[in-house]
Amino acid sequence: MAEGIKIIKGNIVFTPSFGQLEVFENSFILIEGKTVKGIYRELPAEYTHMAVTDYQNALIIPGFVDLHFHAPQFANRGLGLDLELLPWLERYTFPEEAKYTNIAYAQAVYKQVVTELWKWGTTRVACFGTIHRAATAKLLELLALAGLGGYVGKVNMDRNSPSSLIETTAQSLADTEDYIKATIDRYELVKPIITPRFVPTCSPELMTGIAKLAQKYNLPVQSHLSENAGEIAWVKELHPECPNYAGVYHRFGLFGQQPTIMAHCIHNDDAEIALMAQSKVYVAHCPYSNNNLASGIAPIRKYLDNGIAVGLGSDVAGGHEVSIARVMTMAVQVSKLKWLATDKSEKFFTIPEVFYLATKGGGSFFGKVGSFEAGYEFDALVIDDSSLEVSACNQYSVEDRLSRFIYIGDYHNIVARYVAGAKIEQPQL
């Protein structure tokens, strides 16, 4: 038997392009090592002697990608969500993140975080840690132990932050470089990422310094952009020399000079949108968070029409849901409000469209991830939705079953998970 070949059978569903759903009922997916070799309705003769993992009537879909997640805010889910961004950060988020000087606390929460991501079918995540190098390295280690893939950032904050959660510029740069060196070659699927929290908490010297580190170590960048009116006004005050908020990151080398994710992007003007497109910046769309913090509804259709890549983010704990399936439903719901608010000019999303954003849209930030086309890393969820059936009279198509799982299913329906070709079991951390 050929080494490293797996054959899996079920109802295979994925989106090779935005809005285009491919369905292969009762079909075989052939995986060699980490990657998909092909999908077959009938197994070619050369493979018929091999063992097949038959998931029978289950759905097999790409793993979910969370493009924006704050692991140290996990304990704060559901707290302070009757506030706007800046008071929420000050009263709830910063005091919680300050606790991560304590590595025992960090380890206890991060174990739960990793288990929860696994549980809800998130297979790749772009994650913020805190300013603390040791705690953040621990998070990376736990994700790798669980077999999940991701980028994890040690956060940088050297201004406008409470005394319990601030670094000097020099310390921030030194700790970031130490963190990079300790983690960059350590794990195959989990890597460091440069993570300025946002412009208000990063001095020009710090932004310049971490941009140099991103270049030196060839690392991606993640941050927040144009989430809230108060935040945007503050950035304008801090940087009157720059044309706009995106321009601040761009000026200091943190806007597409390396692959970049910007969370939220709700209130960008046309000049910023042009810069986002030109700089190939990814947008992490976080509709739960945007509702909770009264931030607004991001013009995601407009970004896509401008050729900007978009993925979905939970933004835990601005968002209170870890589940990317829930985030998909919220993305559809807020897109309908946007449609109404734009005189029905910005079309709302279809299920295949948000399914794309949740898989290949965000997944492409990680390489060939988020699809079952040949050559893609095999990240998958096996969905047993039999508990969602109503009666034998209701015959649902595969498309309908996917929609119903997304809207009314939960982690109980996810019966197997794969990342980069490997089946990952419940983490034993």
**Contact (CB, 8 A) for 382 and 416:** yes
Q: Does 346 bind Fe ion (CB under 5 A)?
A: no
Minimum CB distance to ligand GUN smaller for 129 or for 220? 129
Name the minimum Å distance from CB 144 to ligand GUN: 24
Site string for ligand GUN, 176-215 (x = CB under 6 A): ---------------------xx-----------------
Site for Fe ion (CB under 5 A): which residue of 96, 315, 346, 353?
315
The bridge status of strand 221-225 relative to strand 260-264 is parallel
Q: What does 132 bind: ligand GUN, Fe ion, none (CB cut-off 5 to 8 Å by kind)?
A: none
Tokens of 87: 């008071």
Site for ligand GUN (CB under 6 A): which residue of 6, 9, 34, 70?
70
- The region of 186-194, 207-215, 255-263, 378-386 touching Fe ion under the rule CB under 5 A is 255-263
Q: What does 193 bind: ligand GUN, Fe ion, none (CB cut-off 5 to 8 Å by kind)?
A: none
Tokens of 2: 């050929």
**Contact (CB, 8 A) for 192 and 233:** no
Q: Which helix (H) or strand (E) holds 262?
A: strand 260-264
Distance CA 90, CA 308 (A): 32
Q: Does 133 bind ligand GUN (CB under 6 A)?
A: no
Minimum CB distance to ligand GUN smaller for 70 or for 285? 70
CA 118 to chain centre: 13
Q: Does 132 bind ligand GUN (CB under 6 A)?
A: no
CA dihedral 185, 421, 71, 250 (to 10 degrees): 60
Name the minimum Å distance from CB 182 to ligand GUN: 24
Distance CA 328, CA 297 (A): 14
Minimum CB distance to Fe ion smaller for 175 or for 315? 315
- Binding to ligand GUN in span 73-102, by CB under 6 A: 85, 89, 93
Q: Does 285 bind ligand GUN (CB under 6 A)?
A: no
**Contact (CB, 8 A) for 59 and 10:** yes
Distance CA 271, CA 146 (A): 42
Name the minimum Å distance from CB 96 to ligand GUN: 10
Q: What does 94 bind: ligand GUN, Fe ion, none (CB cut-off 5 to 8 Å by kind)?
A: none
Phi, psi (degrees; rounded to nearest 5) at 10: 170, -160
Q: What does 197 bind: Fe ion, ligand GUN, none (CB cut-off 5 to 8 Å by kind)?
A: ligand GUN
Minimum CB distance to ligand GUN smaller for 89 or for 114? 89
Minimum CB distance to ligand GUN smaller for 289 or for 413? 289
Single-letter residue type at 400:
D
Which residue matches tokens 């910046």?
Answer: 281
Q: Which residue of this chain has its Cβ atom nearest to ligand GUN in the complex?
A: 318
Minimum CB distance to ligand GUN smaller for 89 or for 273? 89
Minimum CB distance to ligand GUN smaller for 69 or for 376? 69
Tokens of 301: 């259709």
Both ends of the chain: CA-CA distance in Å? 34
Length of the chain: 429
Burial (CB count <10 Å: 0-12, 13-18, 19+), residue 349:
buried
Q: Does 265 bind ligand GUN (CB under 6 A)?
A: no
CA dist 108 → 99, 100, 130, 419 (Å): 12, 11, 15, 24
Minimum CB distance to ligand GUN smaller for 147 or for 319? 319
Q: How many residues bind Fe ion (CB under 5 A)?
A: 2
Q: Footprint of Fe ion on this chain (CB under 5 A)?
A: 263, 315
